[in-house]
Structure 1
Amino acid sequence: MTSATVAFSVTDFLLSRASEPRLTEPAPGPAILARAFACAARTPDHALLRPWRYLVVEGDGRDRLGELLASTAPADDEAKQAKLRKAPLRAPMVIVGIASPTPHPKVPEVEQVMSAAVGMGFLELALADAGFGVMWRSGDVAHHPDVRKGLGLAEGETITGFLYVGTVLEAKPPVPRPEPERFVRRWPEDGPL
């Protein structure tokens, strides 16, 4: 197989990638998860700092995560509490991505956070390639100090997102994507591709 063949298959896969919100059992097993996390570890990582980690939440852990998320809603907003409480139950597995930067003289924190986010994207793609549906979510709860504390994040760590994972129950319709000409320009000539 040539590198051009490999690149073409990866490109085709990326062009067909979609977030899938309707997920059910089964979730990926240990072997598929291990392979997907190995892919996540291939993210660009200046100085090999490994500025990421993950939490896998399944079973009753999803209920506990729901309670933690619900605790961030105002006490008088029962509808929001109920919505947040049910959120982790939308999939049989939730993977919490965590950026865990380390002070380094040549690698700024923002670079490390971007590395962790790319790792989350690689994880998402690897799980989709294994035949699972995925949906990367974040929202206000990802930045709430009580959620970070409840999940055991250390000082300086941030949540890169919640990756909902499972078997696609019903594929959603394709989402229109912009043509590259709309968001890519040449520089300094300022011309189209």
Structure 2
Amino acid sequence: MPDLKLSATEFLQKRRSVPAKTLGLPVPDKAALMPLLTAACRVPDHGKLEPWRFVVLERGAMERLASLARTRAEALGLDDEKSAKGVSQFEMGQLAVVVISSPKASDKIPQIEQLHSASCVCLSLLNAALAAGWGANWLTGWPTYDQTFIQEGFGAVSGESVVGIIHIGSITTPSPERPRPDVASLVTWSSE
């Protein structure tokens, strides 16, 4: 068992997202994706509310969403650069999982804790995909904050929001390394 712990710790210390624009085919099929979604649900969830849900986007849905993003960018009066950035993740994507925060009414569990749980789902899904050998990246962007887009695109209802879109696919090029935090400068030790 200690070797498994060490290997999980090493994975987490070395993990890095793969740029979504470099992800290629093949992508996980339903049989390969379901264990990743199952792993993603193993997060802190006070009150066992399951305050999140998934929308799996396959290639046909990506094309529809790219068109919707273009329409919404025009309606919102976005400049060409911002519009293109919002459209591109759907144009280039082959498979993605939208993690939707879907808070539940609760006198005991504040909505912010439920949102934090949904954020944990995003990171767990990202790590599960990477650990399984897929490339993955967590994206958002202006479409994820546009209520009309998420209602029409993902079937979001009042009170729901998009926490992340996790793109998953085959790694086509090595992921670039980036500077990492100086952990010692971020830690305050308190013993009293």
TM-score (norm 1): 0.89
Aligned CA RMSD, in angstroms, stands at 1.7
Q: Deviations over 1:18-75 (max 9, x none)?
A: 1111110011122221101110111111111001101111121111111222233245
CA contact (8 A) 1:71 1:81 kept: no
How far did 1:83 drift? Answer: 4.1
Instruction: Indicate the larger mover: 144-153 or 74-83.
Output: 74-83
| Larger relative helix fraction | 2
Q: Which residue number corresponds to residue 182 of structure 2?
A: 179
Q: What secondary structure, in the 3-state scheme, does the structure 2 residue paired with 1:72 have? A: helix
Cα offset, 1:88, TM superposition: 1.4
How many residues get paired?
187
2:128 corresponding residue in structure 1: 126
CA contact (8 A) 2:59 2:93 kept: no
1:139-175, Cα deviation, whole Å (9 max, x unpaired): 2221111112112111111100111111111122211
Q: Tell me, yes or no, if structure 1 residue 37 matches structure 2 residue 37.
A: yes
Contact 2:62 2:93 in 1 (8 A): no
Q: C-alpha distance in 1, partners of 2:60/2:87?
A: 12
Q: By how many angstroms is 1:79 displaced?
A: 5.0
Q: Does 1:156 align with 2:154?
A: no
Q: What are the ranges of 5 or more consecutive residues in structure 1 without an aligned counterpart?
A: none
TM-superposed CA distance for 1:8, in Å, is 1.1
Partners of 1:95 and 1:6 lie apart in 2 by 28
> What is the rounded CA distance, in whole Å, between the counterparts of 2:32 and 2:55 in structure 1?
16
Local SS of the residue matching 1:106? coil
Return structure 1 stretches of 4+ with deviation > 6 angstroms. none
User: Is 1:32–1:130's contact at 8 Å kept on the other side of the alignment?
Assistant: no
1:104 counterpart residue number: 106
State whether residues 27 and 94 of structure 2, in contact with CA within 8 Å, keep that contact through their aligned partners in structure 1: yes
Q: For residues 69-114 of structure 1, give each alpha carbon's deviation from its aligned partner in whole angstroms, at most 9, with x where no partner exists.
A: 2233245645544443332133310111101010101100000011
Q: Percent identity between the aligned chains?
A: 32
1:73 match: 73
Q: Which runs of 5+ in 2 are unaligned?
A: none
When normalised by structure 2's length, the TM-score is 0.90
SS at the partner of 2:72?
Answer: coil
